[in-house]
Amino acid sequence: MDKKYIILLIVALLSGAIQAQDTLRIDFRQAVDLALSANVDYQMQTNSMEVLKVEKQSAFLSHLPNANINSSFSQQSGQQFQQIEGEIVVTNVRNEVVNAGLNMNMPIFNSGRRILDTQSAKLAYEAGEKGLDRASQQVMFDVARRYLQVLLDDELVRISQQNLINQKEQFRQIDGFVEAGLRTLSDKYNQQSEVARLESVLVDAELQYQNDVWDLSEYLQLDPGVVPVLESVNPRLDELRYDGMSMTELYDLAKVNRADGVQQELLEFSFKKDMQAIKAMYYPRIGAFYNYNTFFTSLDDRNLQDQLFNVYPQNTLGLSLSIPIFNNFQNRLNVSRSRVTYKNQILQKESVNRKIYQDVKLAHLNYMAAVKKEGNTSIQVMAAEEAQNAISERFRLGLSNFVDLATANQQLVAAQADKAQAVYTLFFQEVLMQHALGTLEVLK
């Protein structure tokens, strides 16, 4: 027997170690951090910001000259023409030539295209930042929805467990009443059936809890087999910050704070600048240039340094004028494309604004409903507790039947579950309102 108990103890310890290894205790902030690091859409937008940043830098640096150094080496074999004492002499020799040069170009006037490109790139970068902010808010909102659902499931499991314990105790009392002749045998069997039903209810509650836990684990991209154990949050709100605010006030608040709405406005301005910059190609352009060229030839007896820096250098400084006359409608095609992009962006902005209004409207309706439901369930629980206490006492005294007692117990459990659901729903609707208004602060 001792050996058997030792083996059972070892198995229990190993099971506990495995269970500890497969669980990860996290709070809401850590869950958001894990989701931000694992969410593909958010990471892709983060990567896109690198390109927008470089485009912004490139547009700013376009106001400066561009410079290039060129160099080449060549070898010529065969007839070489040389001018000696006023005569052209043809010789069959090998000539080694080294060319080097420096070229610089700078646009002076291009109808404001550089300025427009710079402004467009800056607006596009700011729009990207707003899009990234909204993506992070969306991730936090998704985490909050799953996180609170798991906590609610855990609370419902606790209520089911407590109810099962109470009903088992009730079954024990009824069994004693039957033995004492105070209750009929049918009451005992009815209570036994109720206990069995509550055991099934507990199984369903635990199954729902496990499903939602694994859903959260999948969203956080945890390692296979790792189960998150969540730190609890206080779902009770000390104040209802949006209670009493009108729809107009909420929508005005959303128009200022919704990052996706601001993003669409910035993109509209950016595409408008792009269209204006492309239109500038219709007009003449003036540029400045500077060229420095030199070379070395093996036909000259002077050394490499003298030929490159003293004998053959050439400096060219000048202005260039380009007047577009006909380029196969390429400029017109580019302008048409940019105009369509700009018009489509206006449509996209209007669509997002309508969605913002719909989000705020629905969030406001659900929020007010959650406020009312939370207040109603408080009264519901209080009344159900009083009713259950009264029926239990009457049942103990033999003045009430089992049906009344079972009904009172079921109503109390339903009221407790409705209360828990209402409390967490109100807390989630608070988060939903912040998400719809764009005021949800991402935990970092």
Rounded distance between C-alpha atoms, residue 2 and residue 25, angstroms? 36
Q: Identify the domain containing residue 101 by its residue range.
A: 68-109+286-323
Are 90 and 233 found together in one domain?
no
- Specify if 443 maps to a domain: no
pLDDT of amino acid 443: 60
User: What is the arithmetic mean of pLDDT over 319-345?
Assistant: 93
Residues counted in the chain: 444
Q: Which residues, 6+ apart, have CB-to-CB distance to 259 below 8 Å?
A: 130, 131, 133, 134, 137, 438
pLDDT of amino acid 39: 92
- Residues 401-414 have pLDDT tens digits of 777 777 888 888 88
Are 172 and 225 found together in one domain?
yes
pLDDT of amino acid 18: 38
- Specify if 58 maps to a domain: yes
Strands (E) located in 46-161 = 66-84, 87-109
Rounded distance between C-alpha atoms, residue 381 and residue 373, angstroms? 12
- Specify if 10 maps to a domain: no
Q: Where are the alpha helices (DSSP H) in 281-329?
A: 304-306
- Report the percent of the chain where pLDDT is more than 70: 91
Are 49 and 152 found together in one domain?
yes
Is 284 exposed, middle or buried, given 0-12, 13-18 or 19+ CB atoms closer than 10 A?
Answer: exposed
Tell me the backbone φ, ψ of residue 193, rounded to 5 degrees. Answer: -65, -40
Are 180 and 258 found together in one domain?
yes
**Residue type for position 208:** Q
- Report the percent of the chain where pLDDT is more than 90: 54
pLDDT of amino acid 280: 92
pLDDT of amino acid 254: 95
pLDDT of amino acid 182: 72
Work out how many domains the chain is built from and give that number. 2
pTM for the structure as a whole = 0.80
Are 309 and 404 found together in one domain?
no
The CATH number that applies at residue 221 is 1.20.1600.10
Are 304 and 399 found together in one domain?
no
In terms of DSSP bridges, do strands 314-322 and 285-297 run parallel, antiparallel, or are they unpaired? antiparallel
- Specify if 14 maps to a domain: no
pLDDT of amino acid 5: 43
- Residues 62-107 have pLDDT tens digits of 999 999 999 999 888 877 666 555 566 667 778 888 999 999 999 9
pLDDT of amino acid 1: 43
pLDDT, averaged across the chain: 87
Are 160 and 249 found together in one domain?
yes
* Least confident segment among 48-57, 347-356, 391-400, 422-431: 391-400
